């Protein structure tokens, strides 16, 4: 938990873009336990990428949500001091490997909050994700925005 908290602390820009405030104690805890309505704890997976004893990337994946054949990536975060070094790509590769072992899963899904889109869209496009046109109102602590859904096939 301490390493995940440090990872969040290194990404204050992300926290500001999606919540409108600086990182605070408890953000990492929330990432580990937050679930969409109707989703059980057994569907939630946390994946970490380590460099020796330091957590350098983390992903939160919900298996079988919002449909049985979909795995939703709720968060993919890399260490703030190591952006641009391929850690996001490595973390995504781990997500792909895990998802391919879930035989019912045929696609991956993400939501990109508009206030984070300038930073995120290029990364997800490079990984083969495309916008679906589906969106929902997003409310962070001090941010009101729109979250847009993107998907890609596992194949």
Q: Which of 15, 140, 139, 138 is nearest to 148 (CA)?
A: 138
Domain limits for position 76:
2-153
**What pLDDT does 45 receive?**
95
**What pLDDT does 85 receive?**
85
**What pLDDT does 153 receive?**
97
**What pLDDT does 20 receive?**
87
| Structure tokens given for 115 | 């206030």
pLDDT interval class at 80 (50, 70, 90): confident
Q: How many domains does the chain have?
A: 1
CATH code (residue 52): 3.40.630.30
pLDDT over 80 (residue 145): yes
List of long-range contacts for 50-55, beta carbons under 8 Å, 24+ apart: 53/3, 54/3, 54/6, 54/79, 55/3, 55/4, 55/6, 55/7, 55/79
Averaged over 122-151, what is the pLDDT? 95
ω before 66 within 30° of 0 (cis)? yes
**What pLDDT does 97 receive?**
95
Q: What is the pLDDT of residues 85-135, one digit of tens each?
A: 899 999 999 999 999 999 999 999 999 999 999 999 999 999 999 999 999
pLDDT over 80 (residue 1): no
> Cβ neighbours of residue 12 under 8 Å, at least 6 residues apart?
22, 23, 80
**What pLDDT does 60 receive?**
95
Q: What is the pLDDT of residues 6-57, one digit of tens each?
A: 998 998 888 889 888 888 787 788 888 889 999 999 999 999 999 999 999 9
Structure letter (DSSP) for residue 79: -
């Amino acid at each position: 938990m301490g390493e995940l908290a440090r990872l969040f602390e290194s990404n204050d820009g992300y926290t500001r873009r999606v919540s409108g405030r600086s990182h605070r104690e408890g953000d990492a805890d929330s990432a580990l336990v937050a679930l969409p309505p109707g989703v059980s704890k057994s569907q939630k997976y946390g994946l970490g990428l380590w460099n020796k004893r330091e957590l350098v990337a983390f992903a939160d994946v919900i298996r079988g949500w919002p449909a049985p054949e979909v795995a939703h990536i709720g968060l993919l975060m890399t260490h703030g001091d190591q952006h641009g070094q391929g850690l996001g790509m490595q973390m995504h590769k781990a997500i792909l490997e895990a998802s391919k072992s879930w035989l019912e899963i045929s696609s991956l899904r993400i939501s990109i909050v508009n206030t984070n889109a300038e930073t995120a869209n290029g990364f997800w496009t490079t990984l083969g994700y495309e916008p679906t046109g589906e969106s929902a109102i997003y409310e962070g602590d001090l941010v009101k925005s729109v979250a847009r859904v993107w998907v890609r096939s596992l194949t």
